[in-house]
Structure 1
Amino acid sequence: MTPRKGERPPVPERLPAPVVDAHTHLDACGARTPEGVREVLDRAVAAGVDRVVTVADDMAAARWAAEAATWDERVFAAVALHPTRTSDFSDADKAELSALAAQPRVVAVGETGLDYYWDYAPKQAQHEAFRWHVDLAKRVGKPLMIHDRDAHDDILKVLDDEGAPADVVFHCFSGDLDFARACVERGFVLSFAGTATFRNAHALREAVAWVPEDRLLVETDAPFLTPHPFRGRPNEPYCANYTLREIATLRQVDVADLAVAVTRNAERIFGLGDATRS
């Protein structure tokens, strides 16, 4: 019998070494309570995904993510205002985000950047907010997590103009090999989601196969971008297992070795060993 579209994919066999889901949205997955977060993380751990970074896209989500990261030691947070929501970005919002970003369980400023696919916010407002977030990341000394949709060149221009923070992560990297090279040359990190498993994403898969091992992260962007062959079904952090296995195949490397490398990168970039419970 064909599974219903709304059903979660099966929890896969546990990875031989644990990995970190570098970008997920636990609140959008429906895990809005401590009990719900624990259930999602228990499923993730069963698949070998032992920690997650839950990411905000608006002010309410930023408050929630920072709080949720104190509920479970397997959860960390990133806070920012998504570029599509920047048409109204007040001084009060900036003050609150600055305070949230300084919290110890908040390990990144994101997701921020530019989105030229949707027209929810004017480009000027997006650029101004993006530049502000770049500065925030440098002020708090935490990685900048980039949302880049149809805006490759302008993203790089802003980062070049402003001076990028020490660590920059391109969440759900969507570029080709040339853009991957441009990012890596600048010392940036590329995080790959379920799109890397899509059979028609030829240019992206070429970038996945090339990116240096120490510049690579894996993520789900759950509940979105569920990996092949489960496209269209709800995504959760445990599905990073599927993506990691496909990346290992594309790179022709051992799954366990890749898991160890990706975990080492996540711990280095997000300072997971240094983040303490608040």
Structure 2
Amino acid sequence: MSQSPAAADTARAETESNKAARKRRRREPPPDPTPLPGLVDAHTHLASCGGRDAETVRSILDRAERVGVAQVITVADDIVDARWAVAAARWDSRAFAAVALHPMHAGDLDDAAKAELERMTADPRVVAVGETGLDYYWPGKSDSCASPDVQAEAFRWHIDLAKRVDKPLMIHNREADRDLLDILASETAPETVIMHCFSGDQNVARECVDRGYFLSFAGTVSFSNATELRAAAHLVPDAQILVETDAPFLTPHPYRGQPNQSYCLPYTARALAAVRGVEDAEMARILGENARRAYRLPLQ
């Protein structure tokens, strides 16, 4: 039996209302989680979260600290972002910086950029070289993305820089597992390697673990379709696991698609605790201690 015109209009209005509600929720930040003290956000982007002045950075970090996130590593994608990251680390003692050119921007690694990055890495507030690595997802989809060959050349330069300045190397890897691991092996990786937003399967996780790398997990580990990623998170030894937001991206379940910030980190830490079968507080202790050791952060 067909709907009357009035019923059809009502159904259409309800559907539009539901769509509007979903759109509104995507703009709303998640609520504050129950505090989980001792955490460090191993990878965030304060500038992309709006932190482009001292007051906003302080506000972001105040909210994070209230739920137990004591320190953050804010990360650069390009040379402008690198300047913002260093500035944020100088504005607030709870922030530290990682600087590099993201693989997508590897074509911008000219002599001037190299010189500036080298100056930045001498700053004690810069605790890592990153994020650098390989991204095979975007070439062919984005005209502005560097080719794989250009990415590989820039990656090798960043590996050398990390070794010269004796700071951890923070890795971006998207759909490039074998090539990335082979380059790290051939170039002789620095002492500390951090696989940011780990997304590989159990075999890749085991190889990284065997090499002594840290595996950092973002909100993706809490997604309903992340069965293989959770299996990888389960096998990582306590001493090699980190947690991050990658904010403003990858907001954890049940707030996927909503704006992310460092204060959301306890949601992902609790997801990891559930995967690994440990108490939330113990998971937070392990994650925080690992981050402070990996990045050589001052104790809080």
Q: Distance in 2 between matches of 1:68 and 1:258?
A: 28
Residue 161 of structure 1, aligned match among 176, 182, 186: 186
Contact 2:60 2:262 in 1 (8 A): yes
Per the TM alignment, residue 105 of structure 1 is displaced from its structure 2 partner at its CA by 0.5
Structure-1 residue corresponding to 2:235: 210
Matches within 5 A, 1:68-83: 68-83=88-103
Q: Which has the higher helix share?
A: 2
Contact 1:12 1:242 in 2 (8 A): yes
Per the TM alignment, residue 86 of structure 1 is displaced from its structure 2 partner at its CA by 1.1
Structure-2 residue corresponding to 1:7: 28
TM-score, normalised on structure 2? 0.89
Per the TM alignment, residue 102 of structure 1 is displaced from its structure 2 partner at its CA by 1.3
Does residue 255 in structure 1 map to residue 280 in structure 2?
yes
Q: Distance in 1 between matches of 2:227 and 2:127?
A: 32
Structure-1 residue corresponding to 2:38: 18
Per the TM alignment, residue 13 of structure 1 is displaced from its structure 2 partner at its CA by 1.0
Residue type matched to 2:94 in 1? R
Contact 2:51 2:88 in 1 (8 A): no
Deviations 1:147-180 (A, max 9, x none): 0000000110000000000000000000011110
Q: Distance in 1 between matches of 2:26 and 2:287?
A: 30
Residue 142 of structure 1, aligned match among 137, 142, 167: 167
Per the TM alignment, residue 209 of structure 1 is displaced from its structure 2 partner at its CA by 1.2
Contact 1:114 1:151 in 2 (8 A): yes
Per the TM alignment, residue 24 of structure 1 is displaced from its structure 2 partner at its CA by 0.2
Per the TM alignment, residue 104 of structure 1 is displaced from its structure 2 partner at its CA by 0.0
Structure-2 residue corresponding to 1:220: 245
Tell which deviates more after alignment, 109-118 or 86-95.
86-95
Does residue 47 in structure 1 map to residue 47 in structure 2?
no
Residue type matched to 2:57 in 1? V
Per the TM alignment, residue 59 of structure 1 is displaced from its structure 2 partner at its CA by 0.2
Contact 1:11 1:46 in 2 (8 A): no
Residue type matched to 1:41 in 2? L
Q: Distance in 2 between matches of 1:235 and 1:60?
A: 21
Q: Which runs of 5+ in 1 are unaligned?
A: none
SS of residue matched to 2:49: coil
Deviations 1:236-267 (A, max 9, x none): 00111100001000100011111111111111
- Number of aligned residue pairs: give it: 274
Structure-2 residue corresponding to 1:57: 77
Contact 1:22 1:217 in 2 (8 A): yes
Per the TM alignment, residue 35 of structure 1 is displaced from its structure 2 partner at its CA by 0.4
SS of residue matched to 1:86: helix
Per the TM alignment, residue 4 of structure 1 is displaced from its structure 2 partner at its CA by 2.2
Structure-2 residue corresponding to 1:106: 126
Q: Identity of counterpart residues, as a percentage?
A: 58
Per the TM alignment, residue 273 of structure 1 is displaced from its structure 2 partner at its CA by 1.7
Structure-2 residue corresponding to 1:270: 295
Contact 1:110 1:145 in 2 (8 A): yes
Q: Distance in 2 between matches of 1:122 and 1:176?
A: 25
Structure-2 residue corresponding to 1:85: 105
Q: Which runs of 5+ in 2 are unaligned?
A: 1-20, 140-144
Per the TM alignment, residue 88 of structure 1 is displaced from its structure 2 partner at its CA by 2.8
Q: Distance in 2 between matches of 1:75 and 1:88?
A: 26
Q: Distance in 1 between matches of 2:114 and 2:51?
A: 26
Q: Distance in 2 between matches of 1:107 and 1:243?
A: 23
Residue 258 of structure 2, aligned match among 233, 241, 247: 233
Moved over 2 A (4+): 1-4
SS of residue matched to 1:147: strand
